[in-house]
Structure 1
């Protein structure tokens, strides 16, 4: 491994963040060089501000578990920002932008809905949803769009049932999500409109559930708000938005990108089809090899600190790219090879530290069910176009194709 280089100033930035995907939706080729030579490097963000980009496995873990790197400090006057204009980081009620006791309190409130036990309880219904969507896929035209007709609908349908939102509202949820997770793909006006419209939508759902409570997660959060006063009304609304957006968006991307990876390596699809006991391993390998994003969440240093030999000054931004670490050769053998039988599929797809994804267990279950259903129902599934012809959408937090044409 090459000797690592340490930068001394953010003014030395030459890379533009976010880095562009490589061909075939592969991670940015620059990541491999940075992990080997300089896992902490200054970058220029779309806003024009600078930050430290972190790409190595050990370095990302260190950044994500350092309490001196704060998401809440994004709201401090003069703090660097990823994009010009308002975004999720400006909202003090957004779970992703909180730290400390308030963050811990909100996570405790939603934790019961995402335990492994609850994931097992949901599995039968999730299997039914997957089968119903495959029924529709089979009855439709061919080639079929595996992204638009399955991968993009399946997680939305699951989270709508869990939260208590009408599934027929999914087109609106999809539009709001794409605008809210936009980095360079949308305008400030679109982001603001999506924020206001989604908040009004969830507020209306809250009113409906107050009048007619059910067994869904939103009804449970309303009980916590009204009976025990553990939530403010704005916290309740934004928890609903967090659950609806974060509860499906990354799963959509993980599923579409993972299926694309499997289908462009047909020997891996065949292996999974003939050895269904590999499904759990396959999910972990796909999260490592083809994670749902190549973007990190900006944090702000609340004091001077040392990060892997790089001096980070108070007030400077740090972007630990948790999805860049799955190909760190210090931890994974032959990291550029997709191998669903591997036992060293180390990744940080669900984060690390206090912001570890609370829905990781449910997301894993959804991905396992999707792979099991598709290999069982459509064993001859294959790409209907050359892999290089699949077009990928840029400018979003997550990675997804415009369409994923398949045949069987």
Structure 2
């Protein structure tokens, strides 16, 4: 296929915030296909479950190589892939070293220790919803607050700074929604903010993750100063953005399928499995993080040349009929859930345990406190915010 006739990536959303309609056909017929990027470059997009697992597990497909001169680019101008200190952009020993520093804070056991506090925060946000105007905006006043509140407490940032953290995040994870200049300014402003946090925590250390990282930097010299700042940014941005989108998008789908919402209300024991099904059916994004082939790689019979870009769309994999029966149906009691919402391989999300607890707390607390929760508008009237790495509604009006 000639470059000027290639499909344009990212694809437009399907109706009602559903995955792009092209994914189903591509998974069945061409799970590795060439696409044109917003920058004008081309890359291979991967949509099948097995193929995505293979691509994300292959060390020859490198995030760090995105910074090589002349590398394929998703967008023109500065973006988050240019930052060598971003954990997602690293490979090899440095990547492993930095992950080891933060991983102890996000183990499943540590995540469980946070469950009661996360439920407390969810209850407080619901109290505010009940006392506030109706219809309420479940995205802005619940889903967009809970994860950033949690990560601020974990890291040691003031919760009242959540609005500016969200503004910087939206720019940092932008594909087409913001200009290169806006992306660069967000990078600089967020770095200055975290550097200020570091200075304050050096003077007054606390029982938080940032103080722990400062100790590793100052006592054991396991971090340099820029790595310390960017680990803080990684934690504050990645520690809430995808979870915000996962909660909002899942709540929309639950309320669009009222029989499934009622099932969750009536059968709270379904919550752990239901959370996995919602991650499969309504993941936080519909796009993927590009890698560069450092040597020739074969994916599903397709030869990827050295230097070519590969985009494993991990969120497209959850509707692969080879792994999930009737994948277009949301079924909270499903037993054959297969998804890659947290990634695969050495870039698997280190915060997956905490994210799962947050999702379970969000859905479970809402089902307990507001069992009659329902959309206040027709599902078709909910608008979706595009152009970002994650997907979320602009607003989610609800009644109860």
What TM bracket, shorter-length normalisation?
Answer: over 0.9
Tell me, yes or no, if the aligned pair for 2:52 and 2:313 is still in contact at 8 Å. yes
Q: Residues 293-313 of structure 1: CA distance to partner in whole angstroms, max 9, x if unpaired?
A: 001000000001111100100
Give the corresponding residue for 2:314.
Answer: 322
- Asked if 1:336 is matched to 2:316, the reply is no
**Secondary structure of 1:341 counterpart:** coil
**Secondary structure of 2:311 counterpart:** strand
For residues 217 and 110 of structure 1, what CA distance do their matches in structure 2 show? Answer: 8
Structure 1 residue 88: deviation in Å? 1.1
Give the corresponding residue for 1:298.
Answer: 290
Instruction: Summarize the alignment of residues 83-98 of structure 1 with structure 2, pairs less than 5 Å apart.
Output: 83-98=75-90
Tell me, yes or no, if the aligned pair for 2:83 and 2:89 is still in contact at 8 Å. yes
Tell me, yes or no, if the aligned pair for 1:10 and 1:52 is still in contact at 8 Å. no
User: Cα RMSD between the aligned structures?
Assistant: 0.9
Q: Residues 149-203 of structure 1: CA distance to partner in whole angstroms, max 9, x if unpaired?
A: 1000110100000000000101100100000111000011110110000000000
Can you give the 5+ residue segments of structure 1 that lack an aligned partner in the other structure?
A: 1-8
**Secondary structure of 2:45 counterpart:** strand
Structure 1 residue 12: deviation in Å? 7.7
**Secondary structure of 1:186 counterpart:** coil
Tell me, yes or no, if the aligned pair for 2:34 and 2:44 is still in contact at 8 Å. yes
Give the corresponding residue for 2:390.
Answer: 398
For residues 345 and 75 of structure 1, what CA distance do their matches in structure 2 show? Answer: 36
Instruction: Summarize the alignment of residues 95-110 of structure 1 with structure 2, pairs less than 5 Å apart.
Output: 95-110=87-102
Instruction: Summarize the alignment of residues 61-76 of structure 1 with structure 2, pairs less than 5 Å apart.
Output: 61-76=53-68
Tell me, yes or no, if the aligned pair for 1:13 and 1:42 is still in contact at 8 Å. no
For residues 316 and 11 of structure 1, what CA distance do their matches in structure 2 show? Answer: 14
Q: Which of 198, 208, 212 is 1:220 aligned to? A: 212
Task: After the TM superposition, list the runs of 4 or more consecutive aligned residues in structure 1 that deviate by more than 4 angstroms.
Answer: none
Can you give the 5+ residue segments of structure 2 that lack an aligned partner in the other structure?
A: none
What is the aligned length? 400
Structure 1 residue 124: deviation in Å? 1.1
Q: Which of 155, 161, 167 is 1:169 aligned to? A: 161
Instruction: Summarize the alignment of residues 224-235 of structure 1 with structure 2, pairs less than 5 Å apart.
Output: 224-235=216-227
Structure 1 residue 11: deviation in Å? 3.7
With over 3 angstroms needed to count, the CA separation of the structure-2 counterparts of 1:348 and 1:13, relative to structure 1, is farther
With over 3 angstroms needed to count, the CA separation of the structure-2 counterparts of 1:10 and 1:202, relative to structure 1, is farther
For residues 287 and 379 of structure 1, what CA distance do their matches in structure 2 show? Answer: 21
Structure 1 residue 135: deviation in Å? 0.4
- Asked if 1:147 is matched to 2:139, the reply is yes
Give the corresponding residue for 1:362.
Answer: 354
Structure 1 residue 130: deviation in Å? 0.4
Instruction: Summarize the alignment of residues 9-408 of structure 1 with structure 2, pairs less than 5 Å apart.
Output: 11=3, 14-408=6-400
Tell me, yes or no, if the aligned pair for 2:3 and 2:36 is still in contact at 8 Å. no
For residues 88 and 13 of structure 1, what CA distance do their matches in structure 2 show? Answer: 28
Q: Residues 264-285 of structure 1: CA distance to partner in whole angstroms, max 9, x if unpaired?
A: 0000000000000000011000
For residues 146 and 2 of structure 2, what CA distance do their matches in structure 1 show? Answer: 42
